[in-house]
Structure 1
């Protein structure tokens, strides 16, 4: 998938013209492309995953023309604010801290626990070395604990740190860790207690894009009401995934 590179000035001009003349503009959907099953690049080199399928369906229901933009996690909020794309759909938990900078739709994934995964049951998660992805609520949680935090730019690197002995455990969303633990053949395992964090996962938008937020909110509500959102969550996260009531 080719990345879309536009200058901030050009993006701002395009958006302003579209709003001024009342014509619909293309909504650029920003994602990381490195956080399966939420979002990832498949074997064909295309953006795939739960959020790609969900985002495409939301755009259809909201009658929006959408295209996808891949962006590294550590700069995903700044590049939304500066206008490089119009939304963030990247497994981003809704938090008060983030809500001070951007706005969120209602959640499309209910609040879900985070967990610790290690290569041995005998690790010390209270005061040991814990890996987490940079700028996540999991990294923030570990930073305020008695453990030693080591941060990495990508989720893959956090797990690699456990495998190579650089960290005692990784702390991340269980929806990301579940498939890794299952596929590890016993080499990786959950340790300690689950930790509930955040207010679910939602679409991030600029604070000025209230109309766009309203359209996505309405589309999310329609998918909750007709059951298609729960069906999509079960498809990508398994039958044990937390669903909307």
Structure 2
């Protein structure tokens, strides 16, 4: 591995400019606050010209058709492996933010060159009504945002980390495909507090109401605790229900 850990942050975008704008704010903060031992490089994967025109200057980008998310992500991985220098690919959904403190927790796993790892805890914030969940996966698996995949494992997978024809469940599908082809399981990283956030809008595929129905893994946060958790991500998160905010 190079002296600095080179992390390629792959972000697929498709419409939803309100939440994508917040995601981009988070990426800029992550770049600015990244520890000295790592280098963060965003790669935006776009399908529509309107999305391309909103990509900040100097960020890398690649076109991929939006036929299904598995295809879109594999196109990005092929492009990256062919053209870019990196040690790890890290995933970030276009409605997500990663707090820089997560990189410090990940440092030992990057240094040990763990092939595949991620975090099992995240905040879900529902912009239409301002509700927030602290959600921890209890059984197995990690969230899509924050997953890190070593370049050697990517090459071992033939640069195909997803089923080409799958749209939904890409997180679980990725874990299963990597396990089937290489015998590699994802390493689950636990955090004392949520260091990632997923912002839900009215057109999300996975609805906030569905997530809130699982009290074993999710806990709704209110008042001062909620405001403290949201504030630490240092981006302006407004509610569609309260556009004056």
What's the TM-score bracket when you normalise by the shorter of the two chains? Answer: under 0.3
> In terms of Rg, which structure is larger?
1
